[in-house]
Structure 1
Amino acid sequence: MTPPPGDGCLRLVTPDDADELAEVWSRNRAFLAPWEPWRDDAFFTPGSQRSGIERDLAEHAAGRMVPFVICGPDGDMAGRLTLSGVTRGALQSAALGYWVREDLNGRGLATRAAREAVDHAFTTLELHRLQAETLLHNVPSQKVLRRAGFTPYGVAPDYLRIAGRWQDHLLFNVFSDPATP
């Protein structure tokens, strides 16, 4: 699905996205490095991206993940958004993660994508809860989550290994029924 110019959107990633994804990751490597796990040079190749996409799509087919591309104003790849760790049973939850390339940062694409992902999680997947985490100093990402309906609920010490070291994260969640936290 290609969006109309200026609208942005989410669409499922495909193996055909591997070349563009490798190029976008490579171009934004330094920009994303402070917010991401350490990545070796091989990660930024089309072959590695294709393998990752195929793994993500297998997880999607198994009902455990929804791997999206965030479309930019011209229909090109603006970033990625993933609903991962989809858990059924009593929990009915998933985790949201996303990034937007540097030249499109601050234009509302992440907020729009996060809102669309929340809607997808609660209507299509029929989940009860989504969670997301940010580094304590990632105020722009915290604003995106708040605008998408998430609320902070705690801090997890040494939660994820980001930029080569274990770092504390601010935890957020949003519920399908706002009256039921």
Structure 2
Amino acid sequence: MTAPASIHLITERDVEDLRRFELANRQFFESRINARPPAYYEDGGVEVAVAEALRDAEQDRGYQYLIRDGAGRLVGRVNLSHVRRQHFHSCELGYRIGEADNGKGYASQAVKLVLAQALGPLRLMRVEARARADNAGSVRVLQRNGFVQFGRSFRSFEIGGAWFDVLCFEAHAERAGLTA
């Protein structure tokens, strides 16, 4: 059993820890998800990204959280992006767990925690998420947290010259019992 995970909104104090995490896991992430631009890894790149994340949160456009284990070690990230208030009250969920900590339950815990934030204090009504169809672990994380598949996008994601199907999921405040 994995030690409990916690999440916290990213801050400027997290820059060095985040840089180490991203550099240590760069190859692993780039083999599975969209690569970050090379400038992200250059001097000042993480600082720029953190400053942008802080602006996004301040302007209610997105919220980036870091996932830490019970000892406070950075094990991953979970984000709420593309916040749309008017008419939709929705956002998109994304997450990544470092290679050494994959399969230990951190993603499931973090998604549960961030979903509670999104559908609770942030007052969003719907959270969307996507997972590669061949990523059984990520699909399980979403399903365990009450996400329901609503679609499939065929050959819609390319990485390393290979095309993948993407499954589309959603979670609703109403289904979670958070609305009247």
Alignment TM-score > 0.5, same fold: yes
Aligned equivalent of 1:71: 68
Unaligned runs of 5+ in 1: none
- Of the structure 1 ranges 15-24 and 41-50, higher mean CA displacement relative to structure 2 is found in 41-50
- Of the structure 1 ranges 122-131 and 33-42, higher mean CA displacement relative to structure 2 is found in 33-42
Instruction: List structure 1 runs of 4+ shifted beyond 6 angstroms.
Output: none
**Distance in structure 1 (CA, Å) of the matches to 2:59 and 2:6:** 24
Distance 1:46 1:81, change over 3 A: farther
Deviations 1:113-132, CA, capped at 9 Å, x for gaps: 00111111111111110000
**Distance in structure 2 (CA, Å) of the matches to 1:79 and 1:140:** 15
Normalised by the size of structure 1, how large is the TM-score?
0.88
Unaligned runs of 5+ in 2: none
Shift of 1:136: 1.4
Matched, 1:23 2:33: no
Aligned equivalent of 2:147: 150
Matched, 1:54 2:51: yes
Normalised by the size of structure 2, how large is the TM-score?
0.89
Deviations 1:31-81, CA, capped at 9 Å, x for gaps: 211222133543224621111011011011001111100112310211111
Aligned equivalent of 1:134: 131
Q: Is the 8 A contact 1:64 1:85 kept in 2?
A: yes
What is the identity percentage for the equivalent residue pairs of Structure 1 and Structure 2?
A: 28
Q: Which amino acid aligns with 1:146?
A: Q
Q: Which amino acid aligns with 2:57?
A: H
Deviations 1:63-110, CA, capped at 9 Å, x for gaps: 111110011231021111110011112211000000111111111111
Matches within 5 A, 1:1-181: 6-45=3-42, 47-160=44-157, 162-163=159-160, 167-178=164-175
**Distance in structure 1 (CA, Å) of the matches to 2:4 and 2:174:** 27
Q: Which amino acid aligns with 2:65?
A: F
Distance 1:59 1:29, change over 3 A: same
**Distance in structure 1 (CA, Å) of the matches to 2:176 and 2:54:** 33
Q: Is the 8 A contact 1:23 1:44 kept in 2?
A: no
Q: Which amino acid aligns with 1:141?
A: S
Q: Which amino acid aligns with 1:60?
A: A
Q: Is the 8 A contact 1:37 1:163 kept in 2?
A: no
**Distance in structure 2 (CA, Å) of the matches to 1:108 and 1:153:** 24
